Amino acid sequence: MRNSPLVARASNASAVEPKMTQSHPPLALFARDSEDLDVLSSLLENSQLRVADCRLFNAVRTLALGLRRRVNEASVEEDSETIWRTCGLRFLNVRQVKVTGFSADDQDRCLELVALRYAAGDQTPEGSLRLIFTEGACMVVDVEALEVELRDLKPALPT
């Protein structure tokens, strides 16, 4: 994930974006409020995250995650198989990250995302994002402002 297009500037992102099939066009979404985050949460439900695919870039106050998400926007009639897509989830304006229920040192561990939640702080626009995983695992991302980007990085693959 160190050289991921997810951490590239927006002007460079289109140059590295892979070609996708028309039946499952890539997503590129940005959340700046709780309603937007609910949409991302719905799209990312049951996504898989390897602990090794988490990177905190302190110099630019960014947390980048590489996930494998189920393509929920595909119609059931269109696809009889489950379709998966590699995507990046980027959190901006990060102040700190705390984890419970797993260790950052357990690089091979795979977590399944249940939901993304946001709680506003005492001073607007700061707050905390909570990534809730199965088996009681959780990641809390304290931010100065809610800015989250979801971007599909690779073509959709059936399983």
Express each pLDDT in 102-149 by its tens digit: 999 999 999 999 999 999 988 888 999 999 999 999 999 999 999 999
pLDDT for position 3: 41
The number of CA neighbours under 13 Å toward the Cβ of 43 is: 24
pLDDT for position 9: 31
Higher pLDDT, 124 or 69: 69
Least confident of 17-21, 43-47, 72-76, 128-132: 17-21
Higher pLDDT, 29 or 74: 29
Show Cβ contacts of residue 28 under 8 Å, excluding neighbours closer than 6 positions. Answer: 149, 150, 151, 152
Tokens representing residue 128 in the block: 């905390």
Note the pTM of the prediction, 2 decimals. 0.80
7: confidence class by pLDDT, cuts 50, 70, 90: very low
Altogether, the residues listed in the chain come to a count of 159
**Residues paired with residue 21 on neighbouring β-strands, in sequence order:** none
75: confidence class by pLDDT, cuts 50, 70, 90: low
Whole-number percent of the chain with pLDDT over 70: 81
Cα diameter, the chain: 47
- pLDDT at position 4 over 70: no
Q: What Rg, from alpha-carbon coordinates, does the chain have?
A: 15
